[in-house]
């Protein structure tokens, strides 16, 4: 009988003798920048559109304020949840990608199946410390892409060291 070993404060299940080495979300800029952008848009909307709506249609100004603030709050929550539930887990045996707020998608690659790790980042990524990792494997999916990760070179080195240690342990046990 196969047992599920839940990890601490996580929605993934670990295999026997598996432990989480790294858990990360996209860089916090990809949460802060959209929230600031929609906040600026709604502040402009509140100061220009709602008073104009109140002049044209009496009594709708307060409803416009309430609706705008509710929409702003809802969009902020959606952006936060999208950021929060987009995770990369590195364990001593696998690399796991979790994505989704309500419906979830989990994708895992065993470390010994990883063939190539590519780290890319542009000008803004170099300045603010974020980038993308592309993991290619021998599996059916072929490739796993993690976008806007903080310190992608450091994460790449952590993955490579876990691959090295898992291969070393496999050689010792053989």
pLDDT digits (tens, 9 = 90+) for 63-84: 888 888 898 899 889 999 999 9
What pLDDT does 3 receive?
42
Q: Considering the entire predicted model, what is its pTM?
A: 0.77
Between 55 and 108, the higher pLDDT residue:
108
What is the phi/psi pair of residue 149, to 5°? -80, 145
* Pair 119, 152: CB distance under 8 Å: yes
Place of tokens 């009496």: 58
Q: What would you measure as the largest C-alpha separation in the chain, in angstroms?
A: 81
For 114-154, what is each residue's pLDDT tens digit?
A: 889 999 989 999 999 999 999 998 766 678 889 999 999 99
Split at pLDDT 50, 70, 90, the class of 61 is confident
- 1 pLDDT higher than 50: no
The percent of residues above 70 in pLDDT, for the chain, comes to 89
Domain ranges of the chain: 21-174
Average pLDDT, the chain: 84
Contacts of 171 (CB under 8 A, 6+ apart): none
Q: Spelled out in words, what is the top-level CATH class assigned to the domain 21-174?
A: mainly beta
Strand blocks (E) in the chain: 5-6, 13-14, 20-24, 86-91, 94-99, 105-110, 114-120, 130-137, 143-150
What pLDDT does 9 receive?
54
What pLDDT does 141 receive?
62
- 113 pLDDT higher than 60: yes
């Amino acid at each position: 009988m196969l047992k599920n070993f839940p990890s601490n404060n996580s929605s993934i299940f670990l295999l026997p003798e598996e432990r989480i080495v790294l858990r990360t979300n996209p860089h916090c800029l990809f949460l802060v920048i959209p929230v600031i952008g929609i906040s600026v848009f709604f502040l402009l909307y509140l100061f220009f559109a709602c008073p104009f709506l109140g002049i044209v249609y009496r009594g709708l100004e307060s409803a416009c304020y309430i609706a705008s603030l509710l929409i702003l709050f809802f969009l902020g929550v959606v952006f936060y949840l999208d950021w929060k539930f987009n995770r990369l887990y590195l364990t001593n045996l696998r690399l796991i990608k979790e994505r989704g707020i309500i419906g979830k998608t989990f994708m895992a690659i065993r470390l010994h199946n990883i063939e190539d790790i590519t780290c890319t980042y542009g000008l803004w990524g170099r300045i603010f410390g974020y980038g993308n990792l592309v993991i290619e494997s021998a599996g059916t999916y072929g490739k796993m892409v993690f976008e806007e990760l903080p310190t992608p070179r450091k994460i790449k080195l952590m993955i490579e060291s876990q691959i090295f240690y898992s291969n070393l342990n496999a050689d010792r046990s053989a």
